[in-house]
Amino acid sequence: FKDGEVNVIFVLGGPGSGKGTQSALLVKDHGFVHLSAGDLLRAEQKREGSKYGELIAQYIRDGLIVPQEVTVALLEQAIKEEHAKGAKNFLIDGFPRKMDQALTFEDTISKSKFTLFFECPEKVMLERLLERGKTSGRTDDNVESITKRFRTFVETSMPVVDYFEKQDKVVKVNCNQPVNEVYEKVKQALKSKGI
Ligand code: UP5
Ligand code: MG
């Protein structure tokens, strides 16, 4: 995409910090297109005939980052489809969560305007995910997988946040509050960036 053709905001934060919840609210009020990398991977995993189904299933269960070729291709396809329908403003949720993905995406698809980063204590995220796990059907909402997801987040994904922070492109929001209070802060954060 050429400069200005699409606006990309990355939404990052630990597992269960509320990326999906807050993104859904922003879609309703601001007309963003919300693309969750995790949702795209789960859909691809289920797609009949996908050659990546088993690989994706394993990586997600182990809380590891699926090789970037798979995820970047899924995102690129989804962005192009939405752009063809007239969409311009994208919330990319749960991506990039490894440095190679960040560099590839910004080199080949689009630079990001900034990253909305959700801060939340692990203890709170663990409680949320275990609660959700009672009904979510997600193969990674169990203590073993959650522990691995937390480790991957700290070791592999935080360097991406640090990288964007050095470019002064991170807006932090504390998420350890009720959904609507967090949302008020999210809206303020976007306002601070002129959105
Ligand atoms: N909840 C939310 N906000 C709340 C609040 N303020 N107060 C109280 N409760 C709140 O929320 C989680 C739960 O908490 C929900 O029940 C919600 O109601 C409640 P949600 O909005 O779903 O949080 P989110 O941050 O989106 O959590 P999610 O579990 O989706 O985060 P992950 O980052 O772990 O999951 P994702 O789907 O992004 O990735 C899953 C896996 O896919 C990764 O582990 C990885 O294996 C793989 N992946 C890749 O390999 N590459 C990628 O690029 C992306 C993913
Ligand atoms: Mg999510």
Residues spanned by the domain of 172:
7-185
> How many angstroms does the Cα of residue 36 sit away from the middle of ligand 2?
7
Predicted confidence (pLDDT) at residue 123 exceeds the cutoff of 90: yes
Q: Is the peptide bond before 96 cis (omega within 30 degrees of 0)?
A: yes
Residue 191, in any domain of the structure: no
Predicted confidence (pLDDT) at residue 31 exceeds the cutoff of 90: no
Atom of ligand 1 at shortest range from CA of 60:
46
Residue 172, in any domain of the structure: yes
pTM: 0.98
User: Both tokens of residue 98?
Assistant: 């490894």
Residue 194, in any domain of the structure: no
Task: Give the CA dihedral 161, 164, 168, 171, nearest 10 degrees.
Answer: -40
Instruction: Ligand 1: list residues with CB < 6 Å.
Output: 13, 15-21, 36-38, 41, 59-60, 63-66, 71, 94-95, 97, 128, 132, 140, 149, 175, 177-179, 182
Predicted confidence (pLDDT) at residue 102 exceeds the cutoff of 90: yes
Atom of ligand 1 at shortest range from CA of 118:
25
Task: Specify whether the CB–CB gap between 27 and 34 falls below 8 A.
Answer: yes
Residue 184 CB neighbours (<10 A): 11
Residue 2, in any domain of the structure: no
**Strand (E) or helix (H) holding 77:** helix 68-84
Per-residue pLDDT of 51-62, as tens digits, reads 999 999 999 999
* Tally of structural domains, the chain: 1
Which residue's alpha carbon is nearest to atom 16 within ligand 1? 132
Q: Is 63 left (phi over 0), alpha (psi -120 to 50) or beta?
A: left
Q: DSSP string of 120-182? A: --HHHHHHHHHHHHHHH--TT-SHHHHHHHHHHIIIIIHHHHHHHHHTT-EEEEE--S-HHHH
CATH number (domain holding residue 35)? 3.40.50.300
